[in-house]
Amino acid sequence: LCSIPEKPDLCSTSSFFNSTALSNKSLPNILSLEKLNLDGYFSFDNIEHATKDFGNRYHTHPAAVLYPKSVSDIASTINYIFNMGSTSAITVAARGHGHSLQGQAQAHQGIVINMESLQVPEMQIQVGEKPYVDVSGGQLWINVLHETLKYGLAPKSWTDYLHLTIGGTLSNAGISGQAFRHGPQINNVYQLEVVTGKGEVITCSEQQNADLFYGVLGGLGQFGIITRARISLERAPQKVKWMRILYSEFSRFSNDQEHLMSKNSFDYIEGFVIINRTGLLNNWRSAFSPKDPLQASQFISDGKTLYCMEIAKYFNSEESDLVNQKIENLLSELSYIPSTLFMSEVSYVEFLDRVHVSEIKLRAKGLWEVPHPWLNLLIPKSKISEFALEVFGNILTDSSNGPILMYPVNKAKWNNQTSLITPGEDIFYLVAFLSSAVPSSTGKDGLQHILIHNQKVLDFCSKSNLGVKQYLPHYGTQEEWRAHFGPQWEVFVQRKSTYDPFAILAPGQRIFKRR
């Protein structure tokens, strides 16, 4: 074995783009990987998709894509590269469904592992008191939903969009409207199987190899590749009452969101902000179809800023009357604009897979594969009014580039041992600017315009010391990564040197430089 560095190097942006240095060292070594005896195979031609992601702004070419059939394909590949030590510059990126925003699943001149081709045994579902599903890290959440529903079960915590992989969301957090009650997806995992940056296959959980377990959850792919996850399940409801209500005052909107969160009576709480919108939602989150289409026209905000709370209550058919009564009581405690209650009843699958409906429509119009300069922030509750006043009142003049989500979560219910970084307060808000840019436009819907506004929001947060943290973080310098992790930086670096000492894994996150 070659010598293992004690501390991994931190990245500097320039080193990531020094392609000549990398390719000279990588290519001959990568070709030698073909000697490995694998169940799957390397491709040096079928690699184009690995240069792309949903963000559609960063495109780096790998030297090869591994299409693994077994966990040992992944382990042998990484172990081979690890044993080359620093004589090689090869990096390895797991690619889930490629729905990153800034090249996080790419590996410049390295190897991208196509996780969706990993063929581990079929999903295994355990019924009983503490039900769970064992599933491949490359599996899509939508498939997990369909399979577990056959047993009347389903995972508890979701993302808004289900065509993402288990490994991809568990490397971040997986946050949606259920997170206030169940925590994010990373808090609903019992066990993981991980291939580390040394090529070891390790099973970990709260009881076994806990340091690796917590490190990998929310760990941005830095410590290992998730090949299998054991995800906790609950009894699945049949149906969902899905509601939207409008507010013209921010304080009423956020007070009501927090009130409902504390009552724990709804199953899902989200919300979004509508600034000076003059048309109906024209983007991927417009799936909602209220019963009375006439009412929907009131969503046009005509120069004003409106706040829309989105809530859902799960139920089974026989509970319908009881649930209606409960909802009526809960709504009577809120102070939304009375005429603006939109309510529809949908199946559980329709509710969870709602964004996919818009995806199909947008794909048909060629509007899905456009640049997505998204910005996701976690904002402490004590600063949310200050943030809203400036950002929705001054910085942004409209919300026509895409939805702006906004909802609180309660960290007291979250496990704080994972690698996920959140603000210091128990309650904080997820605010997500989910913009789509019109390719080659130089106007308000163009990429540059949107990026400038994102930067203005970030500058305001840092100038006003709001204690904001980025979700799905992206930084260009090591100082920024250090600041992001704060006191947890040392633990993060220590884990990197333990589990991936040559910084082989997930180079697209741009945190550590390959040794």
**Chain positions contacting ligand FAD, by CB under 6 A:** 53-54, 93-100, 104-105, 115, 137, 159-161, 164-165, 167-169, 171-176, 220-221, 225-226, 472, 506, 508-509
CA angle 6, 9, 14 (to 5 degrees): 170
Structure tokens that stand for 489 in this block:
């930086």
Q: How far is the CB of 54 from ligand FAD (least distance, A)?
A: 4
DSSP 444-498: TTSHHHHHHHHHHHHHHHHHTT---EEES---SSHHHHHHHHGGGHHHHHHHHHH
Nearer to ligand FAD, 274 or 505 (CB): 505
Give catalytic residues, as residue numbers. Answer: 99, 160, 270
Distance (Å, whole) CA 359 – CA 361: 5
Name the residue whose CB lies closest to ligand FAD. Answer: 167
- Measured between alpha carbons, how far is 78 from 68 in angstroms, rounded to an integer? 12
Which is nearer to ligand FAD, 158 or 307 (by Cβ)? 158
Q: Are 170 and 146 in contact (CB under 8 A)?
A: no
Q: Which of 168, 215 has the CB closer to ligand FAD?
A: 168
* CB closer to ligand FAD out of 93 and 421: 93
CB of 184 to ligand FAD, least distance (A): 7
| C-beta of 323 vs 451, nearer to ligand FAD | 451
User: CB of 54 within 8 A of CB of 88?
Assistant: no
By the 8 A CB rule, do 330 and 265 touch? yes
Please tell me the distance from the alpha carbon of residue 359 to that of residue 442, in angstroms, as a whole number: 25
> What minimum distance in Å lies between the beta carbon of 486 and ligand FAD?
21
- In the complex, the smallest distance separating the C-beta of residue 316 from ligand FAD, rounded to whole angstroms, is 25
Question: Can you read off the two tokens belonging to residue 47?
Answer: 């690699």
CA atoms in the 13 A half-sphere facing the CB of 128 = 5
CB of 105 to ligand FAD, least distance (A): 4
CA distance 334 to 343: 15
